[in-house]
Amino acid sequence: MNKPVILLLFSAFLFACGGGKEGGNENESKNSSAELIKKGELLVNASDCKTCHHQVNKIIGPSHLDVAKKYEFTQANVKMLADRIIKGSSGVWGDIPMTAHPDLPMTDAENMARYVLSLDGEAEKQ
């Protein structure tokens, strides 16, 4: 083999091994907040919430969009709403009470609250 061919093969080899390292440096907290919101959406869809809550229309309960507009997307409000989802709630939006969800783990309820609070486009405050 002559030299140019060997050089050509060598550089082709380097090229093939060089690529493939990209990305992976996105904003961590923004990323995980989006993931938790997504989890919350799946949980809301899988639970009984939709019997009483439509995303944008009031049915038995307030629309989840109205809930998002009423409250700031803070850690404190995530916890407060998660607590009401688990224990039930009444008197905030009207006379009809929300049933309790005592079997719901707190982290699931918090992610549901995150999803609801994200619906008006507000980002989670850390």
**Binding region for ligand HEC (CB under 6 A):** 44, 47-49, 51-53, 60-62, 67, 81, 84-85, 89-94, 96-99, 101, 112-113, 116
Shortest spacing between CB 71 and ligand HEC, in angstroms: 7
Query: Least distance (Å) from ligand HEC to the CB of residue 12?
Result: 56
Burial of 34 (0-12, 13-18, 19+ CB in 10 A): middle
Cα 60 versus chain centre, distance:
24
Distance CA 4, CA 44 (A): 64
Nearer to ligand HEC, 44 or 65 (CB): 44
Q: Look up tokens 């609070």; give the residue.
A: 117
The distance of closest approach from Cβ of residue 126 to ligand HEC in the complex, given in angstroms and rounded to an integer, is: 20
Closest to ligand HEC by CB, 10 vs 72, is 72
| Token pair of 5 as six digits | 């061919």
